[in-house]
Chain A
Amino acid sequence: MNKTDALIIGAGPTGLFTAHQLNLIGLSCEVVDNLDKIGGQCIELYPDKPIYDIPAVPECTGEQLTNNLINQLKPFDIKFHLNQRVEEVKRDNENWIVKTNSGTIFLTPNVIIAGGVGSFEPRKFSPKECEKFENKSLFYSVKDKKIFEGKTVAIFGGGDSALDWAVELSKKSKVNLIHRRDEFRGAEATVSKMHALVKEGKINLFTKYQMTSVKGNGQLESIDIKNDEDEIKNIKTDYALGFFGLIMQLGPIANWGLNIDKKTIEVDTEKFETNQKGIYAVGDICNYPGKLKLILSGFHEGALAARACFKLARPNEKYRFEFTTTSTNLLKRLGKKE
């Protein structure tokens, strides 16, 4: 069991700066994120897109902003739990017991939800029956490529993941690549490589087609694909792989007894606390009159939530407001003074 003063859910810009604020005022924290990397939407959705409205930063990309925030955390020892989604938050007297889908358990008086629009999950095929085959013969990521050796694989998508796997698996499997249009958005070099393999007969390419149904008994046997002219083709296949990027889902947060309206959590504007004592929401996921979904608002909300955490984490101490320019205490924590 990990004991900490505050648990932050979400390693996007708001979560990162909230971690900074907690550590600065002398509280410990740990951070959980469902992605395999730090940065949230900034790193997953727009790493290369410039942002122009971070105060005192005229222009930076999502990736640069993330790197700067990580650098700002360097003086502190913060444990990140990536690739994990928080499933359960339960009250235990003065504390919350928080469990992730990997079985990590936290005991903390403060939970700060900095979850953006929810956790990133793979986008799925539209036919409902696909669920029956999921993780058996239908996947949204490749964990062990050996299982495809000597088999027929249908790969769907037009980005780098779909193309990379089509090229890679064509070495030892029969690959059918299916995409909704003729253009591919993957890297040019990979697109050319794929087209070369199509010419050599190593990859069968079906463009302007999408999946309409899957058939099989326990194990996938075939899939139907349909084009814009409503022509249907049946393709025998042992496996299907879908690469349609990620989508944000509120997920288990909906089950924690919080006041949720339109996928956002209601908070007060003093502590950014939810209707549950010791659970806060900051950044895009919180809602209050006048809420702006800007990164700078997330920073402000995180700073205030961090101060509110102090009260529950140190019930017998009084929080004193200090400036980093003058406070010996803070400068020590930042490693700038012995």
Chain B
Amino acid sequence: MAKITYITSDAKVHEIEVQNGLTVMEGAVQNDVPGIDADCGGGMACATCHVYVKEDWFNKLPKKEDGEEDMLDMAFEPKPNSRLSCQIIVSDDLDGLEVNIPSKQA
């Protein structure tokens, strides 16, 4: 289990205990955190589960796999700290992770 903090664009804070093995995207969708669409269901094919990760955490996360950066080209307002939340797998190491959800996914 890890506590993941999702901050929506209206600055609302959603603290969710997410089971290990789920993705950060699934943690949001299963707990009704708004703003993550995940249209393709986690296939790294749509860039609608886009989140911003605070710098200290960004560098701690496992690196992006091939293809994630390509998909981020299509995300709404990508930044250097952008990630696709379907590609971040929750583990104890991620306890305390904070992600910001953009105002729109497209």
Contact = CB atoms under 8 A, between A and B. Distances in A.
A142 B88 CA distance: 36
A60 B40 CA distance: 18
Given A45-B43, A247-B46, A248-B46, A158 B106 contact: no
Contact of A293 (B41, B46, B69): B41
B74 A123 contact: yes
Interface in A110-166: 117, 123-124, 126, 157-159
Size class of the A contact interface (CB-based, 8 Å): 20 to 34
A4 B43 CA distance: 36
Contact of A181 (B40, B41, B69, B104): B69
A46 B73 contact: no
Contacts of B73: 157-159, 179-181, 185, 244-245
Interface stretch (B3-11, B12-20, B77-85): B77-85
Contact of A45 (B40, B78, B106): B40
Which secondary structure characterizes the binding site on chain A? loop
A183 to B, nearest CB: 7
A49 B41 CA distance: 15
Contacts, number: 52
A210 B77 contact: yes
Contact of B43 (A46, A157, A159, A244): A46
A228 B104 CA distance: 20
A181 B73 CA distance: 8
A142 to B, nearest CB: 18
A247 B106 contact: yes
B79 A228 contact: yes
Contact of A247 (B39, B70, B78, B80): B39
B70 to A, nearest CB: 4
A41 interface: yes
B48 interface: yes
A228 B80 contact: yes
Contact of B39 (A158, A180, A210, A248): A248
A263 B38 CA distance: 11
A244 B45 CA distance: 13
Given A180-B78, A185-B73, A123 B41 contact: no
A99 B73 CA distance: 35
Interface string A209-249: 01000000000000000001000000000000000110111
Given A117-B39, A245-B47, A245-B73, 5 more contacts: A159-B70, A180-B73, A210-B77, A244-B73, A248-B46
Interface of B: 37, 39-41, 43, 45-48, 69-70, 73-74, 76-80, 104, 106
* A-B pairs with lowest CB-CB distance, top 9: A185-B70, A247-B106, A45-B45, A245-B74, A117-B39, A244-B74, A158-B73, A248-B39, A126-B77
